[in-house]
Structure 1
Amino acid sequence: MISSSIKWLALIGLAFFISSCSKPEPQLLQIKGSTMGTYYQVSYVLSAEQVSDNKLLTKQLQAKIDEQLELVNDQMSTYRPQSELSLFNKSEKELVVSDATIKVVSKALEIYKQSDGAFDVTVGPLVNLWGFGPDKKPNKVPSAALIEKTQQEIGSQYLSVEGNKLVKSKPNLYVDLSSIAKGYGVDAIAEFLSEQGITNYLVDIGGELSAHGTKLDDVPWTIAIERPGLGQNVQRLLHVSDNAIATSGDYRNYFEFDGIRYSHTIDPSTGRPIHHKLVSVTVIDKSSMVADGLATAITVLGPKNGLEFATKLKQPVFLISKEGDKFIETYTPEFEKFLVKEK
């Protein structure tokens, strides 16, 4: 009886010894939340050594990520009356703002110049006029006179950065960074994760992405370009590790009036929704902020001018145009290396 008890205790002790000596395994974790009027999702890999670090577990890490995203909203949201951007829009001339807001506006102005005005963060009054902003949708297409009048209220040439100040030369100028701020938010979270020592992650805010490293077992992050139209069909698969990606398209956000479809993307040069065959633009860059802004600019420029613009920049860009019932894809030479080869 004593001998059996000793053997049983010995087995328990051995099991405990084996258990205590077993090493933690790397883990793939995921955080989900909402921000900027859309969703966010962060997938990240912890090494065996990092698994025991409590501050890197999902609950603790999400609290820090939410803080980062709240800060971006407090800086750049037009839906928050006391955000830096809202206060600037209410001002008549200038406002001191954070380095982050200066960075985003400076990049917006750079893309504005590169694209000959196709990307314009002051286009908000026209967006509202056509019913795609927070204002109520119109019950008829705006008159040419009203469009022309509203066009006189916009123009990034009236916006500038002077040190840590945003400055406008038109008192009523209204700036909306929604076409580039999500990308900045992705970059901010990616930088934060890297600062925590996390080197393998995928950050997604409303479809704007940043991918670094790999998933578990060195499996690459795979990104899908959606085929425009109904359903969730995949046009192409990409491997974009250590890069950011943004997609712009007019196939989801639009309205129809008298049988005519009006896109949510406004061409500042005409004051009207874009009207061409380009329906989706995907841009790859080291910065999601840059990719976000360029995707919008190329969408406005259209299939021919957009491809020429991307080619001139030597930017990895993938375009989908609709011709009849078919979707036609074109892309710059720099994009090809990211495509997953079809088997």
Structure 2
Amino acid sequence: MSLLDERFSTMGARGRIVLADRAPGATPSPRLQHAYADARARLDELQRRWTRFDSDSDLNRLTDDPRPMVPADADLRALIRAGAWAGRVSGGLVDMTLGTQIAQAGYDQDWTRAPASLPAALAAAPPRAAASPDPAARWQALGTDRHAGTITRPPGVALDSGGIGKGLAADLIASQLVGLRFIVDVGGDLAFGHGGAGTHEIVVEHPLTGAPAHRFHLGSGGVATSGIHRRLWLGAGGTPGHHLLDPSTGRPAWTGVLAVTAVGRSALEAEVLAKTALLRGARGARATLAGHGGVLVLEDGMVEVVPALAHIAQRAVRDLAATA
């Protein structure tokens, strides 16, 4: 089997693409090399167009446009459509209209610095509470029209592609790789396919120790991890901050959950489930993950595996065995 495994930086995070086919040889086949080159070019294009850290990006030009309805191409419409969907399925907790608030919280530039100490941040953090949606619910005004080629959104509201963009990008790249065995990892949002060659092992990292917290196997679909430990900083006066906001306050949410890994039918779905689960706190997280399963890591270091995960992993193994 021919294998290609490349790691890189993308969308302010770590990225990885793993490709395999049945071609013999110790080096990647031409098919894999071409697929990887196309995938990286596409991912670089999406990063340039969707970032909020470049004033000339398509996303920021949309924010700056005073018109309530703006012509836009298919990629930008897909991002806005994903943002509206994320708002609906999360009950407003995953809200891409919080661009101004996340910059004010301290995430105002592309992430290149080392995170602050997690134990120190937890010790200084405010009392824990589940997040709530923003009563303004500006995400409800997000809309697209495929036939007219337009986007509607509240003029002047800063939009943040954030995890929604990473999950959607992983899925768009995955759509180019049908027939291959692949993993596309965009900042912890994974889209993968088995290519008829067995399941993938997914290793969940413990945010406190870096050691494996849980392992499971899946054939295809999406997995995403949302956590407060990778983008963590200390602001003025030592106030800790991170990038997962409580929409009702516009400030970092401290819910008692450090990280959530969720399974979905796509990377985008897994991303939205993971973030929703973390923002709801431990009790709400269990309910959020009940359908597809997942893994919670709480502030005391306890790891909880939501039971549906074991059933889905077992079914994936059985389904692939039946088609082998």
TM over 0.5: yes
User: Any stretches of 5+ residues in structure 1 without a counterpart?
Assistant: 1-25, 142-150
Classify 1:240/1:89 alpha carbon distance in 2 versus 1 (closer, same or farther; 3 Å).
Answer: same
Deviations 1:71-119 (A, max 9, x none): 3124322233333212101101232222232223222212212222111
**Are 1:247 and 2:225 counterparts?**
yes
Is residue 2:63 matched to residue 1:85?
no
Q: Are the counterparts in 2 of residues 128 and 135 from structure 1 also a CA contact under 8 Å?
A: no
Q: Is the 8 A contact 2:164 2:268 kept in 1?
A: yes
Tell whether the 8 Å contact from 1:214 to 1:220 is kept in structure 2 after alignment. Answer: no
Aligned length: 292
Q: Residues 114 and 203 from structure 1, CA distance in 2 versus in 1: closer, same or farther, beyond 3 angstroms?
A: closer
With CA pairs under 8 Å and 6+ residues apart, which has the higher RCO, 1 or 2? 2
**TM-score using structure 1 length:** 0.74
Q: How far, CA to CA, are the matches of 1:153 and 1:269 in structure 2?
A: 9
Residue deviations 1:167-191, cap 9 Å, x none?
A: 123x311111122111112112211
CA RMSD of aligned residues (A): 3.3
2:175 is aligned with 1:175: no
| 2: CA distance, partners of 1:261 / 1:32 | 30
Cα distance in 1, alignment partners of residues 29 and 254 from structure 2:
52
Question: Who wins on radius of gyration, i.e. which is larger?
Answer: 1
Deviation at 1:277, TM superposition (A): 0.9
Give the Å deviation of 1:54. Answer: 6.1
Cα deviations by residue, 1:5-34 (Å, 9 ceiling, x for unpaired): xxxxxxxxxxxxxxxxxxxxx222223333
- Which residue pairs with 1:303 in the alignment? 282
The code of the aligned residue for 2:152 comes to V
Deviations 1:114-166 (A, max 9, x none): 222111001111111111222999xxx9xxxxxxxxx8998313433234322
Counterpart contact for 1:34–1:40, Cα < 8 Å:
yes
Q: Secondary structure at the match of 1:179?
A: helix
Residue in 2 aligned with 1:192? 176
Query: What is the TM-score of this pair, normalised by structure 2?
Result: 0.78
Match of 1:333 in 2: 308
Mapped contact 1:187–1:289 kept (Cα < 8 A): yes
Aligned-residue identity in percent: 21
Taking a change above 3 Å as real, the CA distance of residues 205 and 111 of structure 1, as seen in their structure-2 partners, is: closer
Question: Alignment partner for residue 264 of structure 2, among 277, 281, 285?
Answer: 285
Change (3 A) 1:308 1:75: same
